[in-house]
A and B are shown apart, each in its own frame.
Chain A
């Protein structure tokens, strides 16, 4: 169950592991020349909603405790409140679409270090509940004309802990990274990345199982012109 480290909103994703079926996570970040920008993170479990409808009626599934709707709502409110307290973080908006099981969080950040601090603050907030993300630290950097998406996730170590069930669930899940810039992109060092028609955005889609087992790496560096 260590794959949750990919998710900045573990609280939203952890229980998605309870049901088999597909889900997708989208990490969409706009970075301006001065390092400020917008962060938009979405967990879409819509494809598994029939399963989730059933699972949410129970208090446990496959040996994992199923949180209630109220509990998840409360965690989302807590996430919003934590982010709003962070310096340099503004316009925090969270959305929940329960019928489709789509959850998102969106905010503006003044600098890359403040974005990192914000993500870490959410992780720290949930540390006591064991919902934190130890690897969610210093994941983004922007210096000169180079944007770096880092990852502290140690697939070699963590993949041993994945159960067959975990793998089955992750097999059909996707993680999409979209990074947008003011300047055109020169190159992305990830072979899977695509550059948009305007040349200012980079999209990379990963299979979650490949990420969890280290076949694919989320870390990549984008150099601007």
Chain B
């Protein structure tokens, strides 16, 4: 049973959320060289949003996310599929990794990174879909 509104949890969730999201982005971006990656980062982000959900309720989460978690899943899948295409365009076999360096900030962009972001979104979206669906039925039962 989710009862939101305790002061400490509320404040903690509000403060922790940006930190946790930042941490998840950090994990996502460094994943190619250090421990981390899209899957782990997605789980961390999902945990962050779950905490916020417990503290402030489903409506607050919805208002903050702007998009439905299911749309996150769809976007993740789309990114995953799109990242396979640049290789085709260059005449290389399907799914061959492509690497580009963005000049000014010296950042290495690549199709594996795009793919990893896709993984991130799918994991985040799937977990949130399951959790919000559970919370929702929960509240409906309470209202009866």
Q: Do A and B bind each other?
A: no
